[in-house]
Structure 1
């Protein structure tokens, strides 16, 4: 290492140390980040740590909140791509594997919890060729399901349906939660399953951040393709508690896998999540 390179390295180290030890520097950095975050400068950026989903809701910056508005229902993104939908990512193949097994087990109904405009159905159908009697029901917010129905009008199929009533999942064979649980309170899935007289035999959780030690909620900013910014609570459950909650309901954990995606909350290093989780549960006989 040259003298100049060593000097620059020491200068960077001193700067990092100063940001912690010099009075006011850390607070200034946090205020600058908060100002940029609230101005919508970060897509999928995170801010703050909160003890509950409701506390994060109360702390949302001014502007659009959540996903129930037209800015978040961008079906043109899907219809303008070649073939209408993106190629299957490699990390989705465990879901294909367990969906195939559920179909072979006789499953014919599925609730897609927070399934947006039904894009997962169209992706998986390419590989699994769902039978004519199969019914895939997307539960989501009204603006989103309206967009999904509009997309289905362009590409009709009787196998895909939409609902704004999550309890329509009672009695279905499969529940899929792919990238949606983090936008719901921590115990939402467990509470719904507990309330249902007949629970789905198969539960597949995909692309979900789970922390190895603790639960917390942060706030995420999402920049839409039209440039609008929406803020929403972003929930991270403690992994062991999340799994144990499903075991208590009569499920067994059959498989788990990871997606290479990190979660960081600036100024809260204790909230770091190294990878997102996939899990497959089956109801014990």
Structure 2
């Protein structure tokens, strides 16, 4: 009897494994969905929102979620160093930084201990309305200094640098659409902690206890192509192994790869 091709043998041998993994994942979802870090795999933000468990808040734009991990996010992490490396070199020629998804100035606080971010730089934070309300209150109370807040991109300044650290997995719009809402494309992009995979883009749900947040894991090739179509060259790229993620209910999809990029707009 002829021997099966190696590729076919591998496919047949791995199918039971994939089936078992998928079955275990779905069982976990049914038994303890409120305890999983990530659950579900959806084709869009809308589908993910529709699957939020009963009684849970939806998304980040809720007062109960705003202070989640604030102090932790304000600490300098190992994955911040590539961003600081490039920002340190850009700062002498930068007047305006748009910190998209900058929360309550967490990166301004973390970087400010090591970089001269308090010189005459307009550091504008764009975020959701619930976060911006708290941020503006903190400014009035003197708990924050050196930043300003907006929740509408039509109010965004003409930025030299767009900093997006941990934004893109929560962004509910294509990145090119987001950038085109700005008054002009920023000359420099510092993108950090973007979750990627080699397969199709997938949206899962991240568990914040009282809330579930749609969380996007992007197709890497498509994202890189988007940057090129917008006119950006990738100058540097780094991996963040500690931030890779597995969707517990869908382990067969594999682990995501967390990446960072420094991209610069090409000269016209």
TM-score using structure 2 length: 0.83
Is 2:161 the partner of 1:179?
no
Q: What corresponds to 1:244 in structure 2?
A: 225
Deviations 1:8-40 (A, max 9, x none): xxxxxxxxx89957xxx9758624533411xx2
Q: Which has the larger radius of gyration?
A: 1
Q: Deviations over 1:36-76 (max 9, x none)?
A: 11xx223xx11111111111122222221111122112289
Residue 4 of structure 1 is matched in structure 2 by none
- Runs of 4+ aligned structure 1 residues displaced above 4 Å come to 17-21, 25-29
2:42 counterpart of 1:50 = yes
Is 1:127 matched up with 2:109? no
**Contact kept in structure 2, 1:256 and 1:280, CA below 8 Å:** yes
Q: Does 1:71 align with 2:53?
A: no
The correspondence for 2:147, drawn from 128, 137, 160, is 160
Of 18, 35, 41, the residue aligned with 1:41 is 35
Residue in structure 1 matched with residue 213 of structure 2 by the alignment: 232
Distance 1:33 1:103, change over 3 A: same
The count of corresponding residues between Structure 1 and Structure 2 is: 249
SS across alignment from 1:185: coil
Distance 2:169 2:19 in 1: 31
Unaligned runs of 5+ in 2: 1-15
Other structure's SS at 1:214 match? coil
Q: Which residue of 2 aligns with 1:275?
A: 257
Among 133, 155, 162, the alignment partner of 1:146 is 133
Label 1:73 to 1:185 Cα distance change in 2 as closer, same or farther (>3 A): closer
- Specify the alignment match of 1:12 in structure 2: none
Between the aligned partners of 1:142 and 1:234, the Cα distance in structure 2 is: 19
CA distance in 1, matches of 2:18, 2:258: 30
SS in 2 for 1:128: coil
Give the aligned CA root-mean-square deviation in angstroms: 2.6
CA separation of 1:200 and 1:64: change in aligned 2, threshold 3 A: same
